[in-house]
C-alpha cells in the first residue's frame, strides 16, 4: 500500500509498505479521510521519531475484521482514536483519563496518512472506535478526535452558558473551541490571531469580536469589548508565551485559564503571582480526548450543533500530503487540510 512517510515538515515522501496483517480482536480500515492536525507539524515533537507515518484524525471503512470482534462488521464506516485509556488505573478512576499510561502508549499501525490502517484490539476494547452515522460524511467524521479534545477541555472547565470566552489563537483548535463555545451557549466570544484570514474565519464561525494580536493591544481590546471587565474563560490555543500572559491578564476575577496549546519543553513564562492570587484565577490544562469525549463530539457533529465543513480549505490526495504539511505549518490561507488516500 502507499503511505506518506514523514521525515520533517518539508520532507514527506510517498512510499510503499505492506498492508498491515490483523490478528484476533483487530480490524483493518480503508482510510477515506485523514485530517492533518496542528500537532502533526510540531517538528520539535515529531522529528524525534521520524521517519514514521503520522495521522490520527481518521475515518474509513472496515475491510477486514478479526476473530472475536463484536459490534462491527465489514463495509461499516467508522472513526477511531489512536489513544485509549485503560479505565482501571488511579487516574482513570478519578476521571483523568488522558494522563493514563496506556493512553500515552497506544497508536495505529501505521498511521492515518496511509491507504489502510490496523486498529489494535485494545483500541477497540476500550471504546476507541465508533460507528459513523449515515448522516455524517467521512470528512466530517474525521473531526471527531479534534472536536473531542475541545469537548474534554470545556468539561474540565465546567463551562457554563452565557459566560464570556476569549480564544487566543484562531487556528483549527481555536476554531473548534469557538464553535463549541457557541453551541454550548456562550455569551460573548472574543478571538485573537495574527492572521487576517483566520480572524475572518473566526468571525464567520461565531466570534463576536476579533482582535489582530500583531496590531492591537489584546488585553485592552478585551476589556473594551467586554464592558470593562475580563472574560470568564481564556482558552490559550496559540503556543506562544505572549498568549499565556495575555490570558492571565485578560481573565476576570474568579475566571479560568485553559492551556490548550502546548509550548516546547523548557520554555518558562514569568507572570505576576500576586495578580494570579488576588484574582483567584483557576489555571488548568487539557490533553487529548477519552472515549466519552469522542462519543459526545460525534453526536454534536451528527446533530450539526457543531458544523465543520466550512473549515475544510484543502482536500488533497495521498501523494500531495507533503504539500498539505507545508500548508498547515505555514499557517497561511488554510485551516483544515484533509488527505484522501483513495481519491
147-193 tens-digit pLDDT: 999 999 999 999 999 999 999 999 999 999 999 999 999 999 999 99
Query: What per-residue confidence (pLDDT) applies to 101?
Result: 98
Residue 134: other Cβ atoms inside 10 A: 8
- CB-based burial of residue 75 (10 Å sphere; 0-12 exposed, 13-18 middle, 19+ buried)? exposed
Residue 251: other Cβ atoms inside 10 A: 26
**Please, which residues have CB within 8 angstroms of residue 113's CB and are 6 or more apart in sequence?**
3, 4, 6, 12, 34, 53, 54, 55, 318, 321, 339, 341
Of 54, 78, 107, which is closest to residue 298 (Cα–Cα)?
78
Local confidence band at 40 (pLDDT 50, 70, 90 cut-offs):
very high
> What pTM value is reported for the model?
0.97
What is the pLDDT averaged over residues 43-72?
Answer: 96
Residue 258: other Cβ atoms inside 10 A: 26
Local confidence band at 343 (pLDDT 50, 70, 90 cut-offs):
confident
User: How many angstroms separate the CA atoms of 318 and 30, rounded?
Assistant: 13
Per-domain residue ranges of the chain? 2-143+308-340, 151-285
Q: Given this chain, do its domains 2-143+308-340 and 151-285 carry the same CATH topology?
A: no
Instruction: Assess contact for 181 and 157: CB atoms under 8 A.
Output: no
User: How many angstroms separate the CA atoms of 21 and 13, rounded?
Assistant: 23
Query: What per-residue confidence (pLDDT) applies to 96?
Result: 96
Of 118, 120, 91, which is closest to residue 288 (Cα–Cα)?
91
User: How many angstroms separate the CA atoms of 95 and 17, rounded?
Assistant: 38
User: How many angstroms separate the CA atoms of 269 and 244, rounded?
Assistant: 8
pLDDT tens digit sequence for 93-152: 999 999 999 999 999 999 999 999 999 999 999 999 999 999 999 999 999 999 999 999
Task: Check the CA dihedral 322-324-326-328 and report its sign.
Answer: negative
On the question of pLDDT at 75 being above 90, the answer is yes
Query: What per-residue confidence (pLDDT) applies to 117?
Result: 98
% of the chain beyond a pLDDT of 70:
100
Look at 41-45, 62-66, 111-115, 283-287 and tell me which has the smallest mean pLDDT: 41-45
The vertex-70 CA angle with 67 and 72, nearest 5°, equals 105
User: How many angstroms separate the CA atoms of 195 and 210, rounded?
Assistant: 11
CATH number for the region 151-285 comes to 3.40.50.720
User: How many angstroms separate the CA atoms of 102 and 105, rounded?
Assistant: 5
Task: Check the CA dihedral 202-203-208-213 and report its sign.
Answer: positive
Residue 157: other Cβ atoms inside 10 A: 20
CATH number for the region 2-143+308-340 comes to 3.90.180.10
Tell me the CA distances in angstroms from 94 to 99, 154, 234, 289, one per residue in order: 11, 17, 25, 15
51 prior amide bond cis, ω within 30: yes
Amino acid at each position: 500500500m502507499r503511505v506518506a512517510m514523514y521525515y520533517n515538515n518539508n520532507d514527506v515522501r510517498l512510499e510503499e509498505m505492506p498492508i498491515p496483517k490483523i490478528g484476533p480482536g483487530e480490524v483493518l480500515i480503508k482510510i477515506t479521510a485523514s485530517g492533518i492536525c496542528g500537532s502533526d507539524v510540531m517538528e520539535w515533537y515529531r522529528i524525534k521519531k521520524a521517519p514514521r507515518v503520522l495521522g490520527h484524525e481518521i475515518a474509513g471503512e472496515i475491510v477486514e475484521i478479526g476473530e472475536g470482534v463484536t459490534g462491527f462488521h465489514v463495509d461499516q464506516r467508522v472513526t477511531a482514536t489512536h489513544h485509549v485509556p485503560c479505565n482501571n488505573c488511579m487516574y482513570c478512576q478519578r476521571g483523568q483519563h488522558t494522563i493514563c499510561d496506556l493512553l500515552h502508549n497506544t497508536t495505529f499501525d501505521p498511521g492515518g496518512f496511509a491507504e489502510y490502517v490496523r486498529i489494535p484490539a485494545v483500541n477497540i476494547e476500550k471504546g476507541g472506535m465508533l460507528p459513523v452515522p449515515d448522516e455524517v460524511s467521512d470528512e466530517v467524521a474525521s473531526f471527531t478526535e479534534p472536536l473531542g479534545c475541545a469537548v474534554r477541555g470545556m468539561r474540565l472547565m465546567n463551562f457554563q452558558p452565557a459566560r464570556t470566552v476569549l480564544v487566543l489563537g484562531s487556528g483549527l483548535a481555536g476554531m473548534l473551541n469557538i464553535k463549541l463555545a457557541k453551541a454550548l451557549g456562550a455569551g460573548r466570544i472574543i478571538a485573537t490571531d495574527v492572521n487576517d484570514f483566520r480572524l475572518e474565519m473566526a468571525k464567520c464561525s461565531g466570534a463576536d469580536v476579533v482582535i489582530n494580536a500583531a496590531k492591537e493591544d489584546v488585553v485592552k481590546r478585551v476589556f473594551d469589548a467586554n464592558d470593562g471587565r475580563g472574560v470568564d474563560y481564556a482558552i490559550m490555543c496559540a503556543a506562544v508565551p505572549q498568549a499565556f500572559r495575555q490570558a492571565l491578564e485578560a481573565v476576570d476575577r474568579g475566571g479560568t485559564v485553559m492551556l490548550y496549546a502546548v509550548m516546547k519543553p523548557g520554555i518558562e513564562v514569568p507572570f505576576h503571582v500576586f495578580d494570579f492570587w488576588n484574582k483567584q484565577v483557576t489555571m488548568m490544562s487539557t490533553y487529548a480526548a477519552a472515549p466519552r469525549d469522542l462519543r459526545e463530539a460525534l453526536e454534536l457533529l451528527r446533530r450539526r450543533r457543531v458544523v465543520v465543513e466550512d473549515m475544510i480549505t484543502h482536500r488533497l490526495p495521498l501523494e500531495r500530503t507533503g504539500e498539505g504539511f507545508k500548508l498547515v505549518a505555514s499557517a497561511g490561507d488554510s485551516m483544515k487540510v484533509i488527505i484522501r488516500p483513495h481519491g
